[in-house]
Amino acid sequence: MHEHRFVFGGLPSRVVFGAGSLQDLGQEVESLGATRALVLATPNQEALAQDVSLRLGSRSVGVYAQAIMHVPIDSVTRALEEVRRCGADCLLAAGGGSTIGLAKAIALESGLPIVAIPTTYAGSEMTSIYGITEAARKRTGKDARVLPRTVIYDVNLTLSLPVSVSVTSAMNAVAHAAEGLYAQHSNPVISMMAEQGIEAIARAIPALYRDPLDVGARSFAQYGAWLCGTVLGNVGMALHHKLCHVLGGSFNLPHAEVHSVVLPHALAFNSNAAPSSMEQIADSLGVSYAPAGMFDLATRHGAPSGLKDIGMRESDLDLAADLVVSQPYWNPRPVGVGQRDEIRTLLQHAFNGVRPEAMAEGFAPGRGGSA
Ligand code: NAD
């Protein structure tokens, strides 16, 4: 047994969770003292935004359904103009990480409060992390102003998320929890949430894959997404998130799919350096070897297995490896220019979509077996 030593500072947000909770929206907006909410969405989800606006009645100043993946700076400038034009005093983000990301970028500039209504499992609603893309580079940062004040999780809004997106989005969520378990400044409360989050997602994926309209499965997935998002919001992430940031940011690969493909390989790389966390992940998944368990969870439910399947070019792997090691995040197994070859090997495995077991020798993960 070892002595506990940690700092815990939970983020101040209010979470309203449950089927039909969207009906509390008006009350939630009012309790923020807001009377002029602007409803944000992607063009795809304009109908949802219109419904939300209708529910708000006179408390809505309209719908702005122009959110774009990775929050390009131009889209922020245009949205800020709209916010000023209609005199909004609150931002209502109805959608996934892209819509919540736009709300965060506006809040960073304007200080307006955000009410988030998430419809994917990405978890942005529980963090004070923002990202804005300018000149093909995504600048990220943390700011208390961008943390949504209120989050409304209504499972009914997730039923329309296509199965393939649901699975990769849930893998995106589970990646936050997995890295949270070996985070540099972790704490017991967050670790508890991470374990529960992995367990919930591991139960939800097979069930929603069988029946995407299974409200129980969807509710479990959303509960897991909340837990995993909270982990992301509270502790620092490591190599996996660095890899995904580089692959998504510099090679324009789709966000959730990249997480789904890379996670088993990042875990295999860290396996020996964080053995007790790997055990916690494996236990939560109900398997004996966490990296292979993650690989199976994704690929047995239709997720792509390799970077080659999601638009990566093999000729770009060298550059990707250079970028990952040039400005590394903290990681339990040190990563720097000295580990460039190991990272290049990891990327090759992720590119090919090899089940981590098969590369046990390369990464010396130390524990055998799989699901
Ligand atoms: P997304 O928001 O881009 O959504 C993908 C597509 O699915 C969009 O067209 C959207 O309209 C549609 N969609 C969403 N929910 C739907 C539903 N229920 N039914 C039908 N269609 C639906 O995808 P995402 O994975 O949620 O977000 C990815 C973005 O979020 C990335 O830019 C990523 O960097 C960011 N992100 C940020 C944080 C953070 O803490 N700042 C955390 C996670 C993700």
pLDDT digits (tens, 9 = 90+) for 182-201: 999 889 999 999 999 999 99
Identify the pLDDT of residue 161: 98
User: How far apart (Å, rounded) are the C-alpha atoms in residues 284 and 59?
Assistant: 43
Residue 14: partners with Cβ closer than 8 Å, 6 or more residues away: 28, 149, 150, 151
CB atoms closer than 10 angstroms to residue 237: 22
CA of 103 relative to ligand 1 center, distance in Å: 13
User: How far apart (Å, rounded) are the C-alpha atoms in residues 19 and 15?
Assistant: 13
CA of 67 relative to ligand 1 center, distance in Å: 10
User: How far apart (Å, rounded) are the C-alpha atoms in residues 49 and 46?
Assistant: 5
* 8 A C-beta contact, residue 103 and residue 116: yes
Identify the pLDDT of residue 89: 97
Task: Tell me the per-residue pLDDT of 248-297, one tens digit each, with 9 for 90 and over.
Answer: 988 989 999 999 999 999 999 999 999 999 999 999 999 999 999 999 99
Is the CB–ligand 1 distance for residue 345 below 6 Å?
no
Q: List the one residue out of 353, 329, 325, 350 whose CA is nearest residue 337.
A: 325
Identify the pLDDT of residue 239: 98
Q: How confident is the model over 122-145, as a mean pLDDT?
A: 92
Residue 11, pLDDT > 90, answer no
Is the CB–ligand 1 distance for residue 77 below 6 Å?
no
CB atoms closer than 10 angstroms to residue 101: 29
Is the CB–ligand 1 distance for residue 260 below 6 Å?
no
Residue 179, pLDDT > 50, answer yes
- Mutating to test ligand 1, I would choose from 13, 68, 69, 125 the residue with most ligand atoms within 8 A of its C-beta, which is 69
Residue 370, pLDDT > 50, answer no
CB atoms closer than 10 angstroms to residue 82: 16
pTM as predicted: 0.94
* 8 A C-beta contact, residue 152 and residue 22: yes
Nearest-CA residue for ligand 1 atom 28 is: 97
Residue 306: partners with Cβ closer than 8 Å, 6 or more residues away: 261, 350, 351, 352, 353, 354
Is the CB–ligand 1 distance for residue 158 below 6 Å?
yes
Quote the tokens at residue 370: 């799989």
Task: Tell me the per-residue pLDDT of 85-94, one tens digit each, with 9 for 90 and over.
Answer: 999 999 999 9
User: For 139, phi and psi rounded to 5 degrees?
Assistant: -95, 125
Closest atom of ligand 1 to 169 CA is 25
CB atoms closer than 10 angstroms to residue 195: 19
